[in-house]
Structure 1
Amino acid sequence: MTIPPLQRIALSTGVDLDVAIAGDPTHSPVILLHGFPESHRTWRGILPDLARDHYVIAPDQRGFARSSKPDGVEHYAADRILADLIALADHLGIDRFTLVGHDWGGAIAWMAALGRPDRVARLVIVNAPHPFLFQRALFDEPEQRKASQYITRFRDTRIDQGLVGAGLEKFLGSTFAHHITGAIGGEDKAAYLDEWSQPGAMTAMLNWYRASGVIVPAMDEDAARPAFLDRPFPPVTQDTLVIWGMRDAALLPVLVDDLGPYVPTLTVEKIDAGHFVPWEKPAAVVAAMRRWNI
Protein backbone atom coordinates (compact mmCIF):
# COMPACT_ATOMS: atom_id res chain seq x y z
CA MET A 1 0.00 0.00 0.00
CA THR A 2 1.21 3.51 -0.84
CA ILE A 3 0.23 6.83 0.65
CA PRO A 4 -3.18 7.75 -0.79
CA PRO A 5 -3.89 10.87 -2.85
CA LEU A 6 -4.20 14.03 -0.79
CA GLN A 7 -7.59 15.44 0.12
CA ARG A 8 -8.08 19.21 0.46
CA ILE A 9 -9.90 20.03 3.70
CA ALA A 10 -11.12 23.50 4.67
CA LEU A 11 -10.92 23.94 8.44
CA SER A 12 -12.93 26.15 10.74
CA THR A 13 -9.63 27.88 11.67
CA GLY A 14 -9.59 29.51 8.24
CA VAL A 15 -6.87 27.41 6.61
CA ASP A 16 -7.03 24.64 4.03
CA LEU A 17 -4.84 21.59 4.57
CA ASP A 18 -3.86 18.80 2.21
CA VAL A 19 -4.39 15.57 4.09
CA ALA A 20 -3.51 11.92 3.44
CA ILE A 21 -6.19 9.65 4.87
CA ALA A 22 -6.11 5.85 4.89
CA GLY A 23 -7.74 2.96 6.68
CA ASP A 24 -11.24 2.13 7.86
CA PRO A 25 -13.00 5.07 9.57
CA THR A 26 -14.53 2.63 12.05
CA HIS A 27 -11.07 1.70 13.33
CA SER A 28 -9.14 3.49 16.06
CA PRO A 29 -7.93 6.89 14.77
CA VAL A 30 -4.28 7.92 14.60
CA ILE A 31 -3.19 11.43 13.57
CA LEU A 32 0.39 11.88 12.32
CA LEU A 33 2.04 15.32 12.55
CA HIS A 34 5.20 15.95 10.54
CA GLY A 35 7.92 18.44 11.36
CA PHE A 36 10.33 20.78 9.58
CA PRO A 37 11.09 20.80 6.69
CA GLU A 38 8.86 17.92 5.64
CA SER A 39 5.21 17.11 4.95
CA HIS A 40 2.93 14.09 5.10
CA ARG A 41 5.80 12.34 3.27
CA THR A 42 7.53 11.95 6.67
CA TRP A 43 5.21 9.00 7.21
CA ARG A 44 5.53 7.31 3.81
CA GLY A 45 7.04 4.16 5.37
CA ILE A 46 4.77 4.17 8.43
CA LEU A 47 1.26 5.21 7.39
CA PRO A 48 0.59 2.14 5.18
CA ASP A 49 1.32 -0.28 8.01
CA LEU A 50 -0.78 1.61 10.55
CA ALA A 51 -3.66 1.84 8.08
CA ARG A 52 -4.05 -1.95 8.15
CA ASP A 53 -5.90 -1.67 11.45
CA HIS A 54 -6.28 2.06 12.16
CA TYR A 55 -7.92 5.09 10.61
CA VAL A 56 -4.83 7.20 9.82
CA ILE A 57 -4.73 10.92 9.07
CA ALA A 58 -1.53 12.71 8.00
CA PRO A 59 -1.94 16.41 7.17
CA ASP A 60 0.46 18.79 5.53
CA GLN A 61 0.41 21.34 8.34
CA ARG A 62 -0.16 25.03 7.77
CA GLY A 63 2.75 26.66 5.96
CA PHE A 64 3.99 23.42 4.40
CA ALA A 65 3.76 22.06 0.85
CA ARG A 66 0.47 23.25 -0.70
CA SER A 67 -1.47 23.81 2.50
CA SER A 68 -2.48 27.39 3.35
CA LYS A 69 0.28 29.87 4.16
CA PRO A 70 -1.23 32.85 5.95
CA ASP A 71 0.91 35.99 5.98
CA GLY A 72 2.46 37.02 9.28
CA VAL A 73 4.54 35.24 11.90
CA GLU A 74 1.67 35.37 14.40
CA HIS A 75 -0.27 32.82 12.33
CA TYR A 76 2.33 30.15 13.14
CA ALA A 77 2.11 30.33 16.92
CA ALA A 78 1.63 26.93 18.51
CA ASP A 79 -1.91 27.67 19.66
CA ARG A 80 -2.97 28.34 16.05
CA ILE A 81 -1.49 25.04 14.91
CA LEU A 82 -3.03 23.15 17.81
CA ALA A 83 -6.37 24.66 16.81
CA ASP A 84 -5.86 23.24 13.29
CA LEU A 85 -5.34 19.78 14.79
CA ILE A 86 -8.56 19.90 16.80
CA ALA A 87 -10.48 21.40 13.87
CA LEU A 88 -9.22 18.62 11.59
CA ALA A 89 -10.36 15.96 14.07
CA ASP A 90 -13.73 17.69 14.39
CA HIS A 91 -14.12 17.87 10.60
CA LEU A 92 -13.55 14.12 10.34
CA GLY A 93 -15.87 13.32 13.23
CA ILE A 94 -13.03 12.08 15.45
CA ASP A 95 -13.38 12.52 19.20
CA ARG A 96 -10.37 10.92 20.91
CA PHE A 97 -7.30 9.80 18.99
CA THR A 98 -3.73 8.59 19.25
CA LEU A 99 -1.42 11.45 18.33
CA VAL A 100 2.00 10.88 16.75
CA GLY A 101 4.41 13.75 16.17
CA HIS A 102 7.96 14.14 14.85
CA ASP A 103 10.12 17.26 15.28
CA TRP A 104 7.81 20.33 15.21
CA GLY A 105 4.88 17.95 14.90
CA GLY A 106 6.07 16.44 18.18
CA ALA A 107 6.18 19.89 19.79
CA ILE A 108 2.52 20.36 18.87
CA ALA A 109 1.78 16.83 20.09
CA TRP A 110 3.30 17.55 23.52
CA MET A 111 1.22 20.72 23.72
CA ALA A 112 -1.94 18.90 22.65
CA ALA A 113 -1.41 16.15 25.22
CA LEU A 114 -0.92 18.71 27.99
CA GLY A 115 -3.69 21.07 26.93
CA ARG A 116 -6.32 18.79 25.41
CA PRO A 117 -6.30 15.50 27.31
CA ASP A 118 -10.00 15.28 26.48
CA ARG A 119 -9.02 14.64 22.84
CA VAL A 120 -5.56 13.04 22.93
CA ALA A 121 -5.99 9.47 24.19
CA ARG A 122 -2.41 8.24 23.69
CA LEU A 123 0.81 9.96 22.64
CA VAL A 124 3.75 8.97 20.46
CA ILE A 125 6.71 11.35 20.23
CA VAL A 126 9.51 10.89 17.69
CA ASN A 127 12.64 13.02 18.25
CA ALA A 128 10.82 15.99 19.69
CA PRO A 129 11.83 17.29 23.13
CA HIS A 130 9.46 17.83 26.02
CA PRO A 131 8.92 21.62 26.18
CA PHE A 132 10.08 22.01 29.77
CA LEU A 133 13.16 19.82 29.39
CA PHE A 134 14.13 21.49 26.12
CA GLN A 135 14.02 24.99 27.51
CA ARG A 136 15.90 23.85 30.62
CA ALA A 137 18.58 22.18 28.50
CA LEU A 138 19.08 25.37 26.50
CA PHE A 139 20.12 27.04 29.76
CA ASP A 140 21.80 24.19 31.62
CA GLU A 141 23.32 21.93 28.94
CA PRO A 142 26.05 23.70 26.91
CA GLU A 143 26.13 21.02 24.21
CA GLN A 144 22.39 21.30 23.59
CA ARG A 145 22.63 25.08 23.54
CA LYS A 146 25.36 24.77 20.91
CA ALA A 147 23.35 22.27 18.88
CA SER A 148 20.34 24.61 18.87
CA GLN A 149 22.03 27.75 17.55
CA TYR A 150 20.53 26.97 14.13
CA ILE A 151 17.18 28.16 15.54
CA THR A 152 18.55 31.69 15.83
CA ARG A 153 19.72 31.49 12.21
CA PHE A 154 16.29 30.29 11.07
CA ARG A 155 14.65 33.22 12.87
CA ASP A 156 16.62 35.70 10.77
CA THR A 157 14.25 36.75 7.98
CA ARG A 158 17.15 37.79 5.77
CA ILE A 159 17.76 34.16 4.84
CA ASP A 160 14.41 33.82 3.08
CA GLN A 161 15.42 35.66 -0.08
CA GLY A 162 18.14 33.12 -0.79
CA LEU A 163 15.86 30.11 -0.50
CA VAL A 164 14.86 29.87 -4.14
CA GLY A 165 16.22 27.89 -7.07
CA ALA A 166 19.76 26.73 -6.38
CA GLY A 167 19.38 28.00 -2.83
CA LEU A 168 16.83 25.27 -2.19
CA GLU A 169 19.28 22.64 -3.41
CA LYS A 170 21.84 23.96 -0.95
CA PHE A 171 19.22 24.03 1.81
CA LEU A 172 18.32 20.41 1.16
CA GLY A 173 21.93 19.36 1.39
CA SER A 174 22.79 21.33 4.52
CA THR A 175 19.68 21.05 6.66
CA PHE A 176 17.85 17.91 5.54
CA ALA A 177 19.94 15.43 3.59
CA HIS A 178 22.92 16.27 5.80
CA HIS A 179 21.08 14.76 8.76
CA ILE A 180 19.89 11.63 6.98
CA THR A 181 22.01 8.49 6.95
CA GLY A 182 22.10 7.52 3.29
CA ALA A 183 21.34 9.52 0.17
CA ILE A 184 18.17 11.34 -0.77
CA GLY A 185 17.54 11.69 -4.45
CA GLY A 186 15.30 10.87 -7.36
CA GLU A 187 11.57 11.24 -6.76
CA ASP A 188 12.06 11.98 -3.05
CA LYS A 189 14.39 14.90 -3.72
CA ALA A 190 12.18 16.23 -6.49
CA ALA A 191 9.07 16.04 -4.30
CA TYR A 192 10.64 18.06 -1.48
CA LEU A 193 12.10 20.67 -3.81
CA ASP A 194 8.65 21.02 -5.37
CA GLU A 195 7.01 21.48 -1.96
CA TRP A 196 9.57 24.05 -0.85
CA SER A 197 9.20 25.92 -4.15
CA GLN A 198 5.54 26.69 -3.54
CA PRO A 199 4.93 30.45 -3.20
CA GLY A 200 5.68 31.56 0.33
CA ALA A 201 6.54 28.07 1.54
CA MET A 202 10.01 28.65 2.94
CA THR A 203 9.00 31.78 4.82
CA ALA A 204 5.91 30.06 6.20
CA MET A 205 7.88 27.00 7.31
CA LEU A 206 10.52 29.12 9.01
CA ASN A 207 7.81 31.17 10.68
CA TRP A 208 7.20 28.20 12.99
CA TYR A 209 10.59 29.00 14.53
CA ARG A 210 9.94 32.74 14.54
CA ALA A 211 6.61 32.37 16.31
CA SER A 212 8.00 30.07 18.99
CA GLY A 213 8.57 31.42 22.48
CA VAL A 214 11.54 29.12 23.09
CA ILE A 215 14.55 31.13 24.27
CA VAL A 216 17.84 30.12 22.63
CA PRO A 217 20.68 31.98 24.38
CA ALA A 218 23.84 32.65 22.42
CA MET A 219 26.83 30.58 23.51
CA ASP A 220 28.40 33.47 25.41
CA GLU A 221 25.14 34.98 26.65
CA ASP A 222 24.13 35.16 30.30
CA ALA A 223 20.42 35.22 29.51
CA ALA A 224 17.70 35.72 32.10
CA ARG A 225 16.42 32.32 33.16
CA PRO A 226 12.66 31.83 32.58
CA ALA A 227 10.86 31.70 35.90
CA PHE A 228 8.81 28.64 34.96
CA LEU A 229 11.98 26.50 34.92
CA ASP A 230 12.11 26.75 38.70
CA ARG A 231 8.46 25.88 39.26
CA PRO A 232 6.56 22.57 39.13
CA PHE A 233 5.50 21.54 35.64
CA PRO A 234 2.31 19.54 35.02
CA PRO A 235 2.76 15.90 33.97
CA VAL A 236 1.51 14.37 30.76
CA THR A 237 -1.40 12.13 31.73
CA GLN A 238 -1.53 9.91 28.64
CA ASP A 239 0.31 6.67 28.05
CA THR A 240 3.30 7.92 26.08
CA LEU A 241 5.80 6.28 23.75
CA VAL A 242 8.96 8.25 23.00
CA ILE A 243 11.00 7.01 20.02
CA TRP A 244 14.44 8.57 19.73
CA GLY A 245 17.05 8.40 17.00
CA MET A 246 20.16 8.40 19.15
CA ARG A 247 22.43 9.96 16.53
CA ASP A 248 20.36 13.14 16.36
CA ALA A 249 22.87 15.99 16.14
CA ALA A 250 20.29 18.72 16.74
CA LEU A 251 18.28 17.23 19.61
CA LEU A 252 20.69 15.35 21.82
CA PRO A 253 19.91 12.15 23.75
CA VAL A 254 20.19 14.08 27.04
CA LEU A 255 16.67 15.33 26.27
CA VAL A 256 15.33 11.82 26.94
CA ASP A 257 17.18 11.22 30.20
CA ASP A 258 14.87 12.96 32.66
CA LEU A 259 11.43 12.42 31.15
CA GLY A 260 10.12 10.19 33.92
CA PRO A 261 8.88 12.85 36.38
CA TYR A 262 7.05 14.68 33.58
CA VAL A 263 5.63 11.62 31.80
CA PRO A 264 4.60 9.11 34.48
CA THR A 265 3.38 6.42 32.05
CA LEU A 266 6.35 6.31 29.71
CA THR A 267 7.95 3.87 27.30
CA VAL A 268 11.20 4.85 25.55
CA GLU A 269 12.47 3.14 22.40
CA LYS A 270 15.96 4.11 21.25
CA ILE A 271 16.90 3.59 17.60
CA ASP A 272 20.31 3.80 15.94
CA ALA A 273 19.43 6.64 13.58
CA GLY A 274 19.60 10.39 13.22
CA HIS A 275 16.98 13.08 13.65
CA PHE A 276 14.88 12.00 10.68
CA VAL A 277 14.33 8.51 12.04
CA PRO A 278 10.88 8.07 10.36
CA TRP A 279 12.68 8.59 7.06
CA GLU A 280 15.81 6.57 7.82
CA LYS A 281 14.32 3.59 9.62
CA PRO A 282 10.55 3.47 9.22
CA ALA A 283 10.43 -0.28 9.92
CA ALA A 284 12.09 0.25 13.30
CA VAL A 285 9.61 3.03 14.11
CA VAL A 286 6.67 0.82 13.16
CA ALA A 287 8.09 -2.06 15.21
CA ALA A 288 8.41 0.21 18.26
CA MET A 289 4.83 1.36 17.85
CA ARG A 290 3.55 -2.19 17.47
CA ARG A 291 5.41 -3.33 20.58
CA TRP A 292 3.59 -0.55 22.38
CA ASN A 293 0.33 -1.95 21.03
CA ILE A 294 -0.63 0.89 18.80
Structure 2
Amino acid sequence: MTDAPLTRLTLSTGVELDVQIAGPENAPAVILLHGFPESHRTWRHIVPDLARDHRVVAPDQRGYARSSKPEGIAAYAPDRIVADLLALADALGIDRFTLVGHDWGGAIAWMAALGHPDRIERLVIVNAPHPLVFQRSLFDDPAQRAASQYITRFRDTGLDRGLIGEGLERFFTSNFAAHVTTAIAGADKAAYLDEWGQPGAMTAMLNWYRASPITVPAAGETPSRPAFLDAPFPPVTQPTLVIWGTQDRALLPVQLEGLDTLVPNLTIERVDAGHFVPWQNPAAVIAAMRQWGI
Protein backbone atom coordinates (compact mmCIF):
# COMPACT_ATOMS: atom_id res chain seq x y z
CA MET A 1 0.00 0.00 0.00
CA THR A 2 1.42 3.39 -1.02
CA ASP A 3 1.21 6.14 1.59
CA ALA A 4 -0.30 9.47 0.59
CA PRO A 5 2.19 12.35 0.62
CA LEU A 6 2.59 14.47 3.73
CA THR A 7 1.80 18.17 3.99
CA ARG A 8 3.91 20.38 6.26
CA LEU A 9 1.75 22.75 8.34
CA THR A 10 2.88 25.54 10.64
CA LEU A 11 0.51 25.82 13.60
CA SER A 12 -0.34 28.75 15.84
CA THR A 13 1.16 26.78 18.76
CA GLY A 14 4.61 27.31 17.25
CA VAL A 15 5.24 23.80 15.94
CA GLU A 16 5.32 22.37 12.45
CA LEU A 17 3.62 19.05 11.85
CA ASP A 18 3.75 16.68 8.90
CA VAL A 19 0.18 15.72 8.12
CA GLN A 20 -1.40 13.14 5.85
CA ILE A 21 -4.60 14.53 4.34
CA ALA A 22 -6.96 12.43 2.22
CA GLY A 23 -10.55 12.40 0.99
CA PRO A 24 -12.92 15.10 -0.29
CA GLU A 25 -12.27 18.54 1.20
CA ASN A 26 -15.98 19.22 1.74
CA ALA A 27 -16.70 15.86 3.42
CA PRO A 28 -17.16 15.39 7.20
CA ALA A 29 -13.79 15.62 8.92
CA VAL A 30 -12.06 12.84 10.86
CA ILE A 31 -8.78 13.49 12.67
CA LEU A 32 -6.67 10.44 13.56
CA LEU A 33 -4.14 10.64 16.42
CA HIS A 34 -1.41 8.00 16.66
CA GLY A 35 0.29 6.85 19.84
CA PHE A 36 3.74 5.71 20.95
CA PRO A 37 6.04 4.83 19.24
CA GLU A 38 4.35 5.43 15.92
CA SER A 39 3.31 8.17 13.47
CA HIS A 40 0.59 8.74 10.89
CA ARG A 41 1.68 5.29 9.68
CA THR A 42 -0.52 3.77 12.43
CA TRP A 43 -3.53 4.41 10.22
CA ARG A 44 -2.19 3.30 6.84
CA HIS A 45 -4.75 0.47 6.57
CA ILE A 46 -7.60 2.66 7.87
CA VAL A 47 -7.20 5.89 5.91
CA PRO A 48 -8.10 4.58 2.43
CA ASP A 49 -11.50 3.33 3.57
CA LEU A 50 -12.40 6.44 5.57
CA ALA A 51 -11.23 8.71 2.77
CA ARG A 52 -13.97 7.41 0.49
CA ASP A 53 -16.47 9.69 2.23
CA HIS A 54 -14.54 11.71 4.83
CA ARG A 55 -11.86 14.34 4.93
CA VAL A 56 -9.20 12.40 6.81
CA VAL A 57 -6.38 14.14 8.67
CA ALA A 58 -3.57 12.08 10.25
CA PRO A 59 -0.70 14.13 11.73
CA ASP A 60 2.72 13.12 12.94
CA GLN A 61 2.28 14.66 16.38
CA ARG A 62 4.86 16.89 18.05
CA GLY A 63 8.05 15.02 18.82
CA TYR A 64 7.45 12.29 16.24
CA ALA A 65 9.06 11.52 12.88
CA ARG A 66 9.99 14.83 11.20
CA SER A 67 7.50 17.04 13.02
CA SER A 68 8.86 19.70 15.39
CA LYS A 69 10.62 18.53 18.53
CA PRO A 70 10.62 21.35 21.08
CA GLU A 71 13.23 21.03 23.81
CA GLY A 72 12.32 20.20 27.38
CA ILE A 73 9.87 17.84 29.02
CA ALA A 74 7.29 20.58 29.69
CA ALA A 75 6.80 21.02 25.94
CA TYR A 76 5.10 17.61 25.86
CA ALA A 77 2.51 18.21 28.57
CA PRO A 78 -0.91 16.97 27.44
CA ASP A 79 -2.42 20.46 27.28
CA ARG A 80 0.25 21.47 24.75
CA ILE A 81 -0.66 18.53 22.55
CA VAL A 82 -4.40 19.19 22.81
CA ALA A 83 -3.62 22.75 21.73
CA ASP A 84 -1.79 21.36 18.67
CA LEU A 85 -4.88 19.34 17.77
CA LEU A 86 -7.17 22.37 17.85
CA ALA A 87 -4.62 24.50 16.02
CA LEU A 88 -4.36 21.82 13.34
CA ALA A 89 -8.13 21.84 12.86
CA ASP A 90 -8.07 25.64 12.67
CA ALA A 91 -5.26 25.62 10.10
CA LEU A 92 -7.36 23.36 7.87
CA GLY A 93 -10.58 25.34 8.39
CA ILE A 94 -12.23 22.47 10.28
CA ASP A 95 -14.77 23.49 12.92
CA ARG A 96 -16.33 20.31 14.33
CA PHE A 97 -14.91 16.86 13.68
CA THR A 98 -14.83 13.22 14.68
CA LEU A 99 -11.72 12.47 16.70
CA VAL A 100 -10.06 9.04 16.64
CA GLY A 101 -7.13 8.18 18.90
CA HIS A 102 -5.01 5.13 19.65
CA ASP A 103 -2.71 4.69 22.67
CA TRP A 104 -1.27 8.13 23.57
CA GLY A 105 -3.35 9.61 20.77
CA GLY A 106 -6.37 8.20 22.57
CA ALA A 107 -5.26 9.78 25.85
CA ILE A 108 -5.13 13.16 24.09
CA ALA A 109 -8.49 12.43 22.47
CA TRP A 110 -10.13 11.79 25.88
CA MET A 111 -8.75 15.10 27.18
CA ALA A 112 -9.76 17.02 24.09
CA ALA A 113 -13.29 15.65 24.18
CA LEU A 114 -13.66 16.55 27.86
CA GLY A 115 -12.33 20.06 27.40
CA HIS A 116 -13.66 21.01 23.98
CA PRO A 117 -17.10 19.53 23.29
CA ASP A 118 -17.78 22.51 21.02
CA ARG A 119 -15.19 21.21 18.56
CA ILE A 120 -15.29 17.44 18.90
CA GLU A 121 -18.53 15.98 17.64
CA ARG A 122 -17.86 12.27 18.14
CA LEU A 123 -15.09 10.28 19.75
CA VAL A 124 -13.48 6.97 18.81
CA ILE A 125 -10.96 5.47 21.22
CA VAL A 126 -8.76 2.51 20.27
CA ASN A 127 -7.04 0.85 23.26
CA ALA A 128 -6.48 3.99 25.28
CA PRO A 129 -7.72 4.26 28.86
CA HIS A 130 -9.98 6.96 30.24
CA PRO A 131 -7.76 9.15 32.47
CA LEU A 132 -9.74 8.61 35.67
CA VAL A 133 -10.21 4.88 35.12
CA PHE A 134 -6.51 4.46 34.37
CA GLN A 135 -5.26 6.41 37.36
CA ARG A 136 -7.71 4.65 39.66
CA SER A 137 -6.63 1.24 38.35
CA LEU A 138 -2.97 2.06 39.05
CA PHE A 139 -3.89 2.44 42.72
CA ASP A 140 -6.53 -0.27 43.04
CA ASP A 141 -5.66 -3.05 40.60
CA PRO A 142 -2.35 -4.86 41.25
CA ALA A 143 -2.30 -6.50 37.82
CA GLN A 144 -2.68 -3.19 35.99
CA ARG A 145 -0.06 -1.58 38.22
CA ALA A 146 2.37 -4.38 37.39
CA ALA A 147 1.61 -4.12 33.68
CA SER A 148 2.31 -0.36 33.76
CA GLN A 149 5.77 -0.43 35.33
CA TYR A 150 7.27 0.14 31.88
CA ILE A 151 6.10 3.78 32.22
CA THR A 152 8.55 4.30 35.07
CA ARG A 153 11.32 2.84 32.89
CA PHE A 154 10.38 5.15 29.99
CA ARG A 155 10.53 8.15 32.34
CA ASP A 156 14.19 7.46 33.10
CA THR A 157 16.11 9.94 30.94
CA GLY A 158 19.14 7.65 31.05
CA LEU A 159 17.29 5.37 28.63
CA ASP A 160 17.76 7.81 25.77
CA ARG A 161 21.52 7.36 25.46
CA GLY A 162 21.13 3.79 24.24
CA LEU A 163 18.49 4.54 21.63
CA ILE A 164 20.71 5.09 18.63
CA GLY A 165 21.97 2.72 15.96
CA GLU A 166 21.62 -0.87 17.08
CA GLY A 167 19.76 0.36 20.15
CA LEU A 168 16.85 1.38 17.92
CA GLU A 169 16.77 -2.11 16.41
CA ARG A 170 16.60 -3.63 19.91
CA PHE A 171 13.88 -1.16 20.89
CA PHE A 172 11.88 -2.10 17.79
CA THR A 173 12.13 -5.79 18.58
CA SER A 174 11.42 -5.62 22.31
CA ASN A 175 9.00 -2.70 22.70
CA PHE A 176 7.07 -2.69 19.44
CA ALA A 177 7.32 -5.77 17.22
CA ALA A 178 7.02 -8.09 20.25
CA HIS A 179 3.50 -6.72 20.83
CA VAL A 180 2.35 -6.90 17.20
CA THR A 181 1.29 -10.39 16.22
CA THR A 182 1.20 -9.47 12.53
CA ALA A 183 4.81 -8.68 11.72
CA ILE A 184 5.86 -5.18 10.79
CA ALA A 185 8.83 -5.75 8.51
CA GLY A 186 10.43 -4.63 5.29
CA ALA A 187 9.52 -1.10 4.22
CA ASP A 188 7.30 -0.52 7.26
CA LYS A 189 10.08 -1.44 9.69
CA ALA A 190 12.57 0.68 7.76
CA ALA A 191 10.20 3.64 7.85
CA TYR A 192 9.77 3.43 11.62
CA LEU A 193 13.51 3.09 12.23
CA ASP A 194 14.05 6.11 10.00
CA GLU A 195 11.47 8.14 11.94
CA TRP A 196 12.95 7.12 15.31
CA GLY A 197 16.41 7.97 14.05
CA GLN A 198 15.57 11.62 13.38
CA PRO A 199 17.58 13.95 15.65
CA GLY A 200 15.95 14.15 19.07
CA ALA A 201 13.04 11.90 18.13
CA MET A 202 13.36 9.20 20.80
CA THR A 203 13.81 11.74 23.60
CA ALA A 204 10.84 13.76 22.36
CA MET A 205 8.64 10.68 22.07
CA LEU A 206 9.55 9.49 25.57
CA ASN A 207 8.94 12.99 26.92
CA TRP A 208 5.22 12.35 26.48
CA TYR A 209 5.53 9.86 29.35
CA ARG A 210 7.72 12.20 31.40
CA ALA A 211 5.34 15.15 31.06
CA SER A 212 2.24 13.14 31.96
CA PRO A 213 0.70 13.81 35.40
CA ILE A 214 -0.22 10.14 35.78
CA THR A 215 1.18 8.57 38.96
CA VAL A 216 2.51 5.02 38.64
CA PRO A 217 3.10 3.54 42.12
CA ALA A 218 5.77 0.89 42.38
CA ALA A 219 4.65 -2.72 42.72
CA GLY A 220 3.91 -3.38 46.39
CA GLU A 221 3.91 0.31 47.29
CA THR A 222 1.00 1.68 49.36
CA PRO A 223 0.96 5.39 48.50
CA SER A 224 -1.60 7.82 49.85
CA ARG A 225 -4.70 7.87 47.70
CA PRO A 226 -5.47 11.12 45.84
CA ALA A 227 -8.88 12.49 46.78
CA PHE A 228 -9.88 13.13 43.16
CA LEU A 229 -10.03 9.39 42.47
CA ASP A 230 -13.25 9.19 44.48
CA ALA A 231 -14.64 12.64 43.69
CA PRO A 232 -17.18 13.46 40.95
CA PHE A 233 -15.63 13.55 37.48
CA PRO A 234 -17.11 15.35 34.44
CA PRO A 235 -18.72 13.09 31.86
CA VAL A 236 -17.72 12.77 28.23
CA THR A 237 -20.81 14.13 26.51
CA GLN A 238 -20.05 13.08 22.92
CA PRO A 239 -21.21 9.80 21.41
CA THR A 240 -18.19 7.58 22.00
CA LEU A 241 -17.05 4.33 20.42
CA VAL A 242 -14.36 2.36 22.26
CA ILE A 243 -12.66 -0.31 20.14
CA TRP A 244 -10.72 -2.64 22.39
CA GLY A 245 -8.21 -5.31 21.44
CA THR A 246 -8.85 -7.97 24.04
CA GLN A 247 -5.32 -9.40 23.95
CA ASP A 248 -3.68 -6.15 25.11
CA ARG A 249 -0.97 -6.99 27.65
CA ALA A 250 -0.30 -3.38 28.71
CA LEU A 251 -3.88 -2.18 29.19
CA LEU A 252 -5.99 -4.80 30.91
CA PRO A 253 -9.79 -5.31 30.80
CA VAL A 254 -10.14 -3.30 34.03
CA GLN A 255 -9.94 -0.21 31.80
CA LEU A 256 -13.47 -0.92 30.57
CA GLU A 257 -14.98 -1.41 34.03
CA GLY A 258 -17.28 1.44 35.06
CA LEU A 259 -16.57 3.35 31.86
CA ASP A 260 -20.27 3.69 31.11
CA THR A 261 -20.77 5.83 34.23
CA LEU A 262 -18.26 8.35 32.85
CA VAL A 263 -19.38 8.15 29.22
CA PRO A 264 -23.19 8.04 29.07
CA ASN A 265 -23.39 7.61 25.27
CA LEU A 266 -20.97 4.70 25.02
CA THR A 267 -20.52 1.81 22.60
CA ILE A 268 -17.80 -0.77 23.28
CA GLU A 269 -16.62 -3.08 20.49
CA ARG A 270 -14.22 -5.81 21.58
CA VAL A 271 -12.01 -7.16 18.80
CA ASP A 272 -9.45 -9.92 18.47
CA ALA A 273 -6.15 -8.05 18.67
CA GLY A 274 -3.46 -6.92 21.06
CA HIS A 275 -2.53 -3.34 21.85
CA PHE A 276 -1.62 -2.27 18.30
CA VAL A 277 -5.11 -2.86 16.94
CA PRO A 278 -4.86 -0.71 13.78
CA TRP A 279 -1.97 -2.92 12.60
CA GLN A 280 -3.19 -6.26 13.94
CA ASN A 281 -6.84 -6.14 12.89
CA PRO A 282 -7.57 -3.10 10.72
CA ALA A 283 -10.62 -4.76 9.16
CA ALA A 284 -12.25 -4.99 12.59
CA VAL A 285 -11.46 -1.32 13.30
CA ILE A 286 -13.00 -0.25 10.01
CA ALA A 287 -16.03 -2.48 10.51
CA ALA A 288 -16.65 -1.16 14.03
CA MET A 289 -16.44 2.46 12.92
CA ARG A 290 -18.65 1.92 9.89
CA GLN A 291 -21.27 0.00 11.86
CA TRP A 292 -21.27 2.77 14.44
CA GLY A 293 -22.06 5.31 11.75
CA ILE A 294 -18.82 6.85 10.54
Q: Is residue 4 from structure 1 mapped to residue 15 from structure 2 by the alignment?
A: no
Contact kept in structure 2, 1:101 and 1:125, CA below 8 Å: yes
Q: CA deviation at 1:93?
A: 0.3
Q: Secondary structure at the match of 1:118?
A: coil
| Cα shift readout 1:208-255 (whole Å, capped 9, x = no counterpart) | 000000000000211121111010111100000000000000001110
Q: Is residue 254 from structure 1 mapped to residue 254 from structure 2 by the alignment?
A: yes
Q: TM-score, normalised by structure 1?
A: 0.99
Map residues 30-179 of structure 1 onto 2, 5 A cutoff.
Answer: 30-179=30-179
Q: CA deviation at 1:2?
A: 4.2
| Cα shift readout 1:24-57 (whole Å, capped 9, x = no counterpart) | 1110000000000000000000011000000000
Q: Is residue 202 from structure 1 mapped to residue 193 from structure 2 by the alignment?
A: no
Q: Secondary structure at the match of 1:26?
A: coil
Aligned mates of 1:129, 1:284 — CA distance in 2: 19
| Alignment size in residue pairs | 294
Q: Secondary structure at the match of 1:20?
A: strand
Letter in 2 for 1:16: E
Contact kept in structure 2, 1:250 and 1:275, CA below 8 Å: yes
Query: Which residue in 1 is equivalent to 2:181?
Result: 181
Q: CA deviation at 1:3?
A: 3.2
Aligned mates of 1:64, 1:21 — CA distance in 2: 17
* Mean Cα deviation higher: 180-189 or 99-108: 180-189
| Cα shift readout 1:70-115 (whole Å, capped 9, x = no counterpart) | 0000000000000000000000000000000000000000000000
Map residues 220-259 of structure 1 onto 2, 5 A cutoff.
Answer: 220-259=220-259
* RMSD (Å) for aligned C-alpha atoms: 0.7
Consecutive unaligned residues in structure 1, runs of 5 or more: none
Aligned mates of 1:50, 1:2 — CA distance in 2: 16
Q: Secondary structure at the match of 2:240?
A: strand
Aligned mates of 2:13, 2:104 — CA distance in 1: 19
Contact kept in structure 2, 1:63 and 1:204, CA below 8 Å: yes
The structure 1 segments of at least 4 consecutive aligned residues displaced by more than 2 Å after TM superposition are none
Contact kept in structure 1, 2:98 and 2:123, CA below 8 Å: yes
Contact kept in structure 1, 2:129 and 2:255, CA below 8 Å: yes
Contact kept in structure 2, 1:137 and 1:144, CA below 8 Å: yes
Letter in 2 for 1:244: W
Letter in 2 for 1:56: V
Aligned mates of 1:237, 1:261 — CA distance in 2: 11
Aligned mates of 1:2, 1:130 — CA distance in 2: 33
Contact kept in structure 2, 1:124 and 1:240, CA below 8 Å: yes
Contact kept in structure 2, 1:33 and 1:40, CA below 8 Å: yes
Q: CA deviation at 1:261?
A: 0.3
Contact kept in structure 1, 2:182 and 2:279, CA below 8 Å: no
Consecutive unaligned residues in structure 2, runs of 5 or more: none
| Cα shift readout 1:180-202 (whole Å, capped 9, x = no counterpart) | 01322100110000000000000
**How many percent of aligned residue pairs carry the same amino acid?**
73
Letter in 2 for 1:254: V
